[in-house]
Structure 1
Amino acid sequence: MRILQPAEWSKPRGFSHGVVVEGPGRWVVLAGQTGSDETGSYAPDMAAQVATALNRIIKLLAEASAGPEHIVRLTWYLTSRSEYETAGAGIGAAWKETLARNFPPSTLLFVGGLVDERAKVEIEVTAFVPSA
């Protein structure tokens, strides 16, 4: 995977503008993951829900023999801009713990709500695992 970064553009923080994936391999596409735990409970704050969603993503990728380094796209759906801005440090810590230094192309959208009204975040993932 090669990150697309025109020399004259400033480097984005926390994501990349695009990637090129070449060669044989397999695609892994995950449904949107929310911040609910195994019992269906949600933490009250956005940072904790993001941490749970990212951990769910890592677990699902492992089921496909993949890891965060294989993620080629993230789409985030968030229910509150102000909560997102307040939760920045906690979200950054959750990212560092799960995705480390991987910054795939990402799109963030603020929406009026998610199907489960307790959910504050839902994250979709596309990954590509090159053939060995």
Structure 2
Amino acid sequence: MAAVFLRHYTSSGPVNRMGACEVFNPPELPEPRGWNHGLLAPAGGRVLFVAGQTAGGPDGRVESGDFAAQFALALDRVLAVVRAAGGEPAHIGRMTVFVTDLPAYREARAELGAVWRARMERHFPAMALVEVSGLVEPGALVEIEATAVLPAHGSATDSQKTQGALPCR
């Protein structure tokens, strides 16, 4: 069996820690721009799975047809779930962004960068962008799902939890 050796690489140097995870950007892969190839969760971390979030309001309706505005609201909803569990943006280790219009995404990249930096600063999880033919909520252009790794210590307060929550099994 061949030994596998993977060094920690980022554009800023050989090792970089962002939040609770170690960043892995092997030199044989293209340099990432706005994401990282891999993040390794620390031993004992708690994994939080965040369901896909859109720009739907409390009633589920999507009001804005603006791509960047929908992205901002969907990301805000993802971050609300992470914070409710006792985490912060730097704890997000993986994110998938589903879009219904890839050209609109490309056209809005400058605005999306500003939205990202305002909420996530310079934290870039492992990411995927997927174009889909449609999303469940009518009018939704963007849906974001994420996985976060929270520190082993501490947990959400009872006021942060949803009543009637089911245990993970």
| Runs (5+) with no aligned partner, structure 1 | none
Q: Taking structure 2 as the reference length, what is the TM-score of the superposition?
A: 0.74
Q: Which has the higher helix share?
A: 1
Note if 1:29 corresponds to 2:49.
yes
Distance 1:98 1:86 in 2: 20
Shift of 1:105: 0.4
Judge which range, 104-113 or 88-97, deviates more.
88-97
Equivalent residue in structure 2 for 1:14, among 34, 56, 78: 34
* Structure number with bigger Rg: 2
1:57-93: CA deviations, max 9, x gaps? 1111110000110001001110001111111111111
Structure 1 residue ranges, 4+ long, deviating more than 6 angstroms after superposition: none
Q: Which has the higher strand share?
A: 1
Aligned residues of 2:62 and 2:138 also touching (Cα < 8 A): no
Aligned residues of 1:43 and 1:49 also touching (Cα < 8 A): yes
Equivalent residue in structure 1 for 2:142, among 116, 121, 129: 121
The letter for the 2-side match of 1:50 is F
The number of residues matched between the two structures is 132
Aligned residues of 2:52 and 2:145 also touching (Cα < 8 A): yes
Q: Taking structure 1 as the reference length, what is the TM-score of the superposition?
A: 0.93
**What SS class does the counterpart of residue 124 from structure 1 fall into?**
strand
Distance 1:102 1:41 in 2: 27
**What SS class does the counterpart of residue 58 from structure 1 fall into?**
helix
- Considering Cα pairs closer than 8 Å and 6+ residues apart, tell me whether 1 or 2 has the greater RCO: 1
Aligned residues of 1:23 and 1:130 also touching (Cα < 8 A): no
